[in-house]
Structure 1
Amino acid sequence: MVKTNKTILWHIVTIMILVLCLTSCEEKKVTETPYVDLVYPQLDTENSRWFFFSSANRPFGMVNLSPDTEIDGAWGSGYRYKVDTVRGFSHVHAWQMSGLSVMPVISSKERDSSIFTDFYSSFNHDKEVITPGYHYLELERYGIKTELTSTKRVGFHKYTYEKDVKTRSVLLNLNTVLGPNENIDGVLKKDSNMELSGSFIMTPTKRRPKPLTTYFKIRFNTPIAAIVEDNQTKNYLVILNDTSDPILMKVGISYTSIDNAEINIDTELPHWNFSKTVEDSKLEWNTLLSRIQVEGGSEQDQRRFYTDLWHALQGRRIISDVNGAYPDNTGAQFKIGQIPLTEQGSPKFNQYNSDSFWGAQWTINTLWGLAYPDIMHEFSQSLMQYYKDGGLIPRGPSGGNYTNVMTGASSTPFIVSAIQKGIVNEQLDTIYAALKKNHMPGGIMGKAGYEHFTDLGGGLQYYLDKGYVPWPLPENNEGIHLDGAGQTLEYAYQDFTLAQLAKKLDKKEDVSYFEKRASNYRNVFNDESGWMQAKNVDGEWSKDFDPYVYEHGFVESNAAQSTWFVPHDLEGLSSLMGGKEKAVEKLNAQFVKAEELNFTSGNSHESELHPEYRRIPVNLGNQPSIQTPFVFNKLGRPDLTQYWTRKVVEKAFSGLAPNTGYNGDEDQGLMGSLNVLYKIGLFQLNGGTEDNPEYQIGSPIFNKVTIELHPKYYDGGKFTIEAKNNGPTNIYSSTPIFNGTELPNFSIRHLDIVNGGELQLNMKNSAN
């Protein structure tokens, strides 16, 4: 008996060892698979904007260190591929924020007094290396080999000068135009023989109405010989001791204090091992990218896919320190906020800077909710922290303050989706009250784009009284995007999403109230024209109506594009059009016409104003109509969803070059996320906001897609999509099968996905 027990115990131990070995091997395999090496950071950089490009940064890092070839303006600035001149390496590339531009040079003030105004250097792309977390280029003017990497909050520089150089220096441009704003009142102090500290102020912008002070701490690996301040520019030249070793420089930043900038360095970068930091960054990126594994397709398909996925984790930036301190600029007076701490003393989440969640219902709502629920949870907590500080949930915060970017209450679908997917499950009544406040007079919904001091431009009172927002508005106001029909459509959809949360919380009166508001989209549908159409304050339809005129009552779109902005009631919309068949015929004709322009309004955001491009019936290069290929699915024609999503991917989202990619309008991961969803064949038309949200099934371009489900949020382990016989011509699927059960509606529910299993698609070359 004893022997038997020992034998059983031995077998159990052996099995456990094998399981642990297999698990370890599997983790090692995933980690070592070089997904990160497939990323092409230069994608669409000819159309870049200040926060668009990333290289030496971590996911959502406070520091986004990279070279700047253009420095004036939010658009057409930052790293622009066609510009061959480096104007500095700056640490902050964020929504309406910029800062701390530095430049290694060969100069001493005594020898070259013009260095403060004449320091730019050419470089050559042939001698450039860019991967996530690392950037290498050579400054031809000085013969300096520059390498950049970072942690979340610390930039790490490596400068290799030619051996005979005697005047190794670093220029700190603390007072300069930089991207969307200026850096002013920059000051620098020498703390020790190898350390500096200082601060500067980011001036307000039209979007970010208050200034923001940035603090920094700098450490060198070699002594400082002298510091020279220029009387004209007020910038600083740091002259270093002669050395034959490469110059290493750590730059920690903080929006709260110099002390916290130093704590950020001490915590995140206590060593001087540059190569280790590069590898750590690569590993962090690879770990996130490996949550979605694709097989099949061409090498370019895979490279573009992981570049898209990388973009989905870009743009939005941490603004809190490692100890949880963050800038709170929501009140009359600036103050330092503190994120709640865990029992171990670490912050429960990070505080974020972010462009609008406008259009996020069709992008990061789905992608983050599937593969990155931890990120979705953290962003939801951050948005609620703004509510606790300033009384409103923002739709796009910058510098610790509201920007009122774009229109509507775009954060509502994001947070409701997180709740419906079980990602956020605490203090739901508090969250509901916060969201509801945004939908009522005095809330975010009532403010037009960048309307800071009034709440007239949103036209909310008209929406409540008349059931639509007039165009034009009678009032004089400060905001932009004053496009009443488009605003009406957004508000109606967002009201629907809030009604879903009210239903979950059994708030019956609110369910009825917001469901009624959600039907307001009907008030801007003109039965005679067959399109959504703007009305004036007297209820008269806009005159000389043309459905292809851009922004004629519609936000960054035309009537043809925005008519389909009813993701919560496509049954109702199709009824207004005379039934599903007529609706399908109408939308299909729009796609046929849009294909002539490759489904986008040119290759840059500004091209939407072009006389021809602005008349495109469907624009997949901007958010208002990016859901339209999946509308066919809900209208009973999944074959057309499969056909058109494949066409869109082929013609608009397959390129891998600096002059193509996202048409210059990659709003901090939204277009990258959209590309990922099209390519794996999953989409959520209403943003995943109903109970047990529904996903529409499309046509994946890969043979196999595996999503690693986060074990803290989901129990299923893995969700796999297998597309058998897939190929460029086999784009149609027979009835999908999930875990042995057919899905005739070409849809699948959230709980089915997160409980794990395999979705099988048998691909063929015809819809019949």
Structure 2
Amino acid sequence: MILHKKATLFIGLLIGFFAKAQTQDFTHYVNPFIGTSNFGATNPGAIAPRGMASVSPFNVAGRENVLEKDSRWLSNPYVNENTFLTGFSHVNMSGVGCPDLGVILSMPTTGELQTDHLVYGTTYTNEVAKPGYYSVELDKYNVKTELTASTRVGVSRYSFPAGKANVLLNLGLGLTNEQGAVLKFNSPTEVEGYRMVGSFCYNNAESAYPIYFVARISETPSNYGVWDKPAKYGGLEAQWMGYNGKTRLKEQFMREVVGDSIGAYFKYDFDKPTQVDMKIGISYVSVSNARENLNEEVGDASFDAVYKQTKQAWNDKLSVVEVEGGSVDDKTIFYTGLYHTQIAPNILNDSNGEYPAMKTRAVKHTEGTRYTVFSLWDTYRNYHQLMSLLYPQEQLDMVNSMLDIYDQNAWLPKWELNATETFTMVGDPAAVVLADTYARGITDFDVDKAYKAMLKSADTREGNPLRPGLAEYIDNGYVSVDSDVAGPVSTTQEYNIADYAIAQLAEILGKKQDAKRFTKRALSYRKMYNKDSGFLQPKMSDGSWYEPFDPLAGANFTENPGFIEGNAWQYLFMQPHDIKGMIKLMNGNKKFEEKLDALFAEDQFDMANEPDISYPFLYNYLPGKSYKTHEKVAELIDTYFTNKPAGLPGNDDTGTMSAWLVYAMMGFYPMTPGEATYTLSEPQFDTVRIHLNPDFYSNKTLTIKNQSTRGNYKTTAFKVNGKTLSTSQVMHKNWVEAGEVIFE
């Protein structure tokens, strides 16, 4: 387990039998505090693999940082540097760049009842976090809080001292500006209701939707009730209403309460130290489903029993990859990365299979798993390829979820969240994921429907929500600056990547004309390359270059008329499907290498953002220069990925940065989205053993052995089943059938 702040680090090994083999307890190598600083946007709270419910400490609306959640655009409920805690939220996201959720907060207190979070909030010490578990001691109250979770239920255990005590359920706090909640006591120990959410990135408020809950507490309170804090009135109206924005308490109030800043409380007067459990079931469909989730998944089970089951679920996931060699820190950052890839996409459907439909939120039913939280601009580059390799059934369910979204919304998803489309970022990433998955041999989905959906987004010239500016792109080969489409160079490149993926799938399906058409479209980025400047540049609709042009503008999220979240340097090499064409465009291997060297030497490479994260692997495509890939990848791991709260290079982007790390530490990377290939670097462990899913792959195990000396990068060679490779590239099919790979 990982002990943090006033605690110490303890690593132990638990030897047991799992999956017919003697293995260690991999959860000991996970540090959930990694990514909770440096804008990593993860949280250390308790969650089951891909859980709908997660219970996180909420410290972004505290006494000294009450304004920070707006002024610093915080997208997560917890920041490691903050010190003032106001509760534990039960519905959260991990590694996202925009705020939403962070709602349904519980909070234990002692003494007289207080309902203002700035009054009842407290500093805290002795945090402990491990997969499926979090605990902390609340300074003001001398209360130890422990958290765990099943897939759809958050479970808390509060250890109170003797005396007056309270458990609060606050529906007024959250990460975004929308408000509106309902709650009702069914008995002294059960509350039900819902909280409105849905303003992802503080936009699209009209698409707000409810999160339903049922909260059950283990000890019957001595008293209970609700509070609400109405909007402030003035003058005669205030006199007539009898209040002026003051919080009202309603004891033993059993009717429904509706409002913005409302909550429920349970009061106690313990004659001895007492533990109280609170269980909160979550649903996006109904209160009755939230209750069913609570009863089916947890019921009367103890806190320890729930945690034991969730810990085992995490071990099942993490044990897919076994590593040998390396330091404790190496293993910790690796397995924490793997842990982060198993948080999102999250499960949307309830235990009975019901979930809300896109747009209408009508109740639908699935026999499998309906996933949500598809941050596809990020995840199409490496994340879904990793899922196809390590967790192919999950990847298949994600693809079917995307096709389900298409059925209900008439378009493939771009950035889908809880059955709403946020249309965040640019490009057409779903097409890439569908094509890439099929190319890797995961084909048990309706590929004809998928292909039809991909063509719709690729060919609909007007009113296309996925590809704005498409008509100009088709006619001219690029999106212009005067088209009013954000980041026209970036957008053109993203359309190219999607078109290449469509071409690859068309080729597999025998659709030769489509393959030829989309392959040609995929190369149109070349029209934006200016040989004089040596960069891709924004163009006007008449074909002239946009002026003035500054290749440095746009870094660190500053404004640039041509690019999204980056500058001309960071987008220069983002044609992973046309590496040979790029090299030719830049006048050959030597000039290409010099430009790539300059990217790193002039500090223009951004490890924290997606467009350029594959660039270290480009040296593999230059004769005799693969050692530079090995050097650079090892350097980036050492620099940006550490066993510390700031141990991610920035926003984890729902597991994309963690997926990069997992691949890089295993020694290979999926360079070209939509194409089932890998490029090789160097494993960071002596042995990497991947247990493949026998339902999808003929080999049970892929064993990767590193027999080279780290740092001796120029002598690396690759042997697959005893045969030396003549290249650093390998097909996915050959890779998973290899059995044994040796780096020597």
Instruction: Map 1:637-652 onto structure 2 (within 5 A).
Output: 637-652=625-640
Residues 252 and 231 of structure 1: CA distance in aligned 2, closer, same or farther (over 3 Å): closer
Which of 357, 363, 384 aligns to 2:403? It is 384
Are 1:351 and 2:371 an aligned pair? yes
| CA–CA distance in structure 2, aligned partners of residues 83 and 66 of structure 1 | 14
Per the TM alignment, residue 506 of structure 1 is displaced from its structure 2 partner at its CA by 1.4
Deviation (angstroms), 1:353: 2.6
8 A contact 1:351–1:382 mirrored in 2: yes
Query: Residue 128 of structure 1 aligns to a residue in which SS?
Result: strand
The answer (yes or no) to whether the contact 2:670–2:677 under 8 Å persists in 1 is yes
Match of 1:627 in 2: 614
Residue among 551, 554, 562 paired with 1:547: 551
Q: How many residues align?
A: 675
Percent same amino acid at aligned positions? Answer: 29
Q: Write the mapping of 1:316-715 to structure 2, written as runs, cut at 5 A.
A: 316-330=345-359, 333-339=360-366, 347-354=367-374, 356-441=375-460, 446-447=465-466, 458-473=468-483, 475=484, 482-550=486-554, 551-594=560-603, 616=604, 618-636=605-623, 637-653=625-641, 655-658=642-645, 660-687=646-673, 689-690=674-675, 693-715=676-698
Contact 1:41 1:307 (8 Å CA) reproduced: yes
Separation (CA, whole Å) in 1 of partners of 2:568 and 2:149: 45
Change (3 A) 1:517 1:681: same
In 2, Cα distance between equivalents of 1:426 and 1:303: 36
Q: Distance in 2 between matches of 1:554 and 1:533?
A: 9
Contact kept in structure 2, 1:525 and 1:532, CA below 8 Å: yes
- Within a 5 Å distance, the mapping from 1:239-278 to structure 2 comes to 239-240=267-268, 242=270, 244=272, 245-278=274-307
1-structure distance, mates of 2:463, 2:723: 44
SS at match of 2:633: helix
Q: Please state if 1:103 is matched with 2:107.
A: yes
Q: Spell out, residue by residue over 1:179-232, the C-alpha distance to the aligned partner (whole angstroms, 9 max, x if none).
A: 134442x22222234322112212534455401111111122222433322242
Instruction: State TM-score, norm by structure 1.
Output: 0.84
Runs of 4+ in 1 over 4 A off after TM superposition: 111-117, 240-244, 442-447
Cα contact 2:37–2:81 (8 A) shared by 1: yes
Identify if the C-alpha distance between structure 1 residues 243 and 711 changes in structure 2 by more than 3 Å, giving closer, same or farther.
farther
Which among 206, 214, 217 is matched to residue 217 of structure 1?
A: 214
Distance 1:444 1:216, change over 3 A: farther
1:48 Cα offset (Å):
4.0
CA drift at 1:366: 2.6
Q: 1:328 to 1:208 in 2, by over 3 A?
A: farther
State the secondary structure of the residue aligned to 1:438.
helix
Say if 2:119 is the partner of 1:118: yes
Instruction: Give the 5 Å matches for 1:125-204.
Output: 127-162=126-161, 164-165=162-163, 167-176=164-173, 178-184=174-180, 186-202=181-197, 204=199
Partner of 1:70: helix, strand, or coil? coil
After TM superposition, the structure 1 = structure 2 runs for residues 301-320 of structure 1, keeping only pairs within 5 Å, are 301-320=330-349
Contact 1:121–1:139 at 8 Å: present in 2 too?
yes
Partners of 1:500 and 1:406 in 2: CA distance = 24
Matched residues in 2 for 1:183 and 1:352: separation?
A: 22
The amino acid that maps onto 1:218 is A
Judge which range, 671-680 or 364-373, deviates more: 364-373
Equivalent residue number for residue 235 of structure 1: 263
SS where residue 486 of structure 1 aligns?
A: helix
Say if 2:482 and 2:541, in contact at 8 Å, map to a contact too: yes
Assess if the C-alpha contact under 8 Å between 1:699 and 1:732 holds in 2. Answer: no
Match of 1:751 among 721, 733, 738: 733
1:8 alignment partner in structure 2 = none
Distance in 1 of aligned mates of 2:151 and 2:463: 31
CA gap 1:656/1:200 in 2 versus in 1, 3 angstroms: same
Deviation at 1:514, TM superposition (A): 1.1
> SS in structure 2 opposite 1:748?
strand
Q: Deviations over 1:613-633 (max 9, x none)?
A: xxx2x2121001011111111
Aligned Cα root-mean-square deviation (Å)? 2.1
The 3 A distance-change label for structure 1 pair 87 and 731 is farther
- Given that residues 379 and 654 in structure 2 are in contact (C-alpha distance below 8 angstroms), is that contact kept between their aligned partners in structure 1? no
Measure how far apart 1:516 and its partner are: 1.6
Task: Say which of 66, 75, 85 aligns to 2:56.
Answer: 66
1:158 CA displacement: 0.4
Asked whether the equivalents of residues 385 and 437 of structure 2 are also in contact (C-alpha less than 8 Å), the reply is no
Separation (CA, whole Å) in 1 of partners of 2:461 and 2:492? 17
Alignment partners' CA distance in 2, 1:334 and 1:76: 25
Query: Distance in 1 between the 2:403 and 2:130 partners?
Result: 34
Cα separation, partners in 2 of 1:229 and 1:42, compared to 1, 3 Å = same
Aligned to 1:765: none
Give the secondary-structure state (helix, strand or coil) at the position aligned to 2:712.
coil
Cα distance in 2 for partners of 1:704, 1:136 equals 34
CA deviations on 1:34-58 (whole Å, 9 max, x unpaired) are: 2211111111312346x62142101
1:370 deviation in Å? 1.4
Work out the CA distance in 2 between the residues paired with 1:640 and 1:529: 25
- Residue 717 of structure 1 corresponds to 700
Q: 1:97 to 1:172 in 2, by over 3 A?
A: same
Q: CA deviation at 1:553?
A: 0.7
TM-score if structure 2 supplies the norm length?
0.87
CA contact (8 A) 1:223 1:241 kept: no
Aligned-residue offset at 1:269? 0.8
**Aligned CA distance change for structure 1 residues 28 and 141 (closer, same or farther; 3 Å):** farther
- CA distance 1:539–1:155, change in 2 (3 Å): same
Letter in 1 for 2:128: V
Counterpart check, 1:55 vs 2:45: yes
Structure 1 alignment gaps of length 5 or more: 1-23, 340-346, 448-454, 595-615, 763-768
Query: In 2, distance between residues paired with 1:277 and 1:760?
Result: 41
Task: Find the residue that maps to 2:335 and give its secondary structure.
Answer: helix
